[in-house]
Amino acid sequence: MAAVALRCSCRRGLSHILRNAGVSSLSSTRPEGGPNSVPCLPGVRHKSTVQFAARPDLPKLAYRRVKGKSPGVVFLPGYGSSMNGQKAEALEEFCRSLGHAYLRFDYTGHGASEGVFAEGTIGTWKKDVLYVLDELVEGPQIMVGSSIGGWLMLLAAIARPEKTAALVGISTAADHLVTTFNSLPLETRKEYEEKGVWTVPTRHSEDGEYRFNMAFLREAENHRVLQSPIPVTCPIRLLHGLKDEDVPWHVSMQVAERVLSADVDVILRRHGQHRMAEKDDIKLLVYTIDDLIDKLTTLV
């Protein structure tokens, strides 16, 4: 397994980081006049509109979509997050600048989507991702999963290999909730089981903690992927920060060791934290996806 080496010398337009958030005025990195080049207007930002997917007997899903070339990019946010985060918005601007399709969405119970957050499960959100792949996008996609979205992208890639062109994990949290709970001392686990709720301190919630009921954890057990080889063979890039206090970076290493793909890179950022939302983190994310698009379109 080799670490990725970004060819910074060939980057021509991936500049102009948004002053307060993601990427602004990202122009194409393709050679001017080439088959993938598209006009880009510096300083002009176009934001997609929110749409709602009505599903029989299931909550409506909110999503934003940019139409364009294949491969498209689909962004999977983290637990409790929405499609309006810095990384998601930066990727939309980048994909638009290249003329590639892009979709970001909110899981059931998240953001603008219908449903009750506390009633959601890994299985619920996996169904959301599969619906997006089956009904809202065309052709194979580069799935970009942040935190728990990285777990969900693996589950989706296993279920829909024909719709998976490549995977990019950001602080991938595969199995992490289940693994962490099971590693607690037996007496501590029993206490939480008696209460029916496991509370986890976090800086990413207004309440300062996440609350997981035992039913959620038992259901999550059914979706573990690190217990055996992961039957995913597409190109995979795993970005993780060494200062991630929520999901340790060795989880990405475990994923890299278990996937069957021969094209896997783990990229560790020395000062990277869990959300990987600093300017340089977002630049690295964009560079990584740009490399994958170049690789995939060259293969075609």
- Both structure tokens of 170: 């950001």
The residue from 147, 171, 176, 281 that is catalytic is 147
* 46, 78, 152, 165, 177 from 145: Cα distances, Å: 23, 7, 7, 14, 16
Q: 25 an active-site residue?
A: no
Catalytic residue among 106, 128, 175, 244: 244
Peptide bond into 71 cis (omega under 30): yes
Cβ 139 vs Cβ 72: under 8 Å: yes
Name the active-site residue from 100, 176, 223, 274. Answer: 274
Please give the Cα distance from 175 to 155 (Å, whole number). 11
Q: Which residues contact 203 (CB under 8 A, 6 or more apart)?
A: none
Please confirm, yes or no, whether 147 is among the known catalytic residues: yes
Integer Cα distance of 139 and 203 in angstroms: 37
Please tell me the distance from the alpha carbon of residue 221 to that of residue 177, in angstroms, as a whole number: 9
> Whose structure tokens read 């996008």?
137
Q: How many CB atoms lie within 10 A of CB 25?
A: 17
3-state SS class at 208? coil
CB 272 within 8 Å of CB 252: no
Residues 153-188 as b or e (16 or more Cβ within 10 Å = b):
bbbbbeebeebbbbbbbbbbbbbbbbebbeeeeeee
Is position 100 annotated as part of the catalytic site? no
Question: Which sequence positions are flagged as catalytic?
Answer: 147, 244, 274
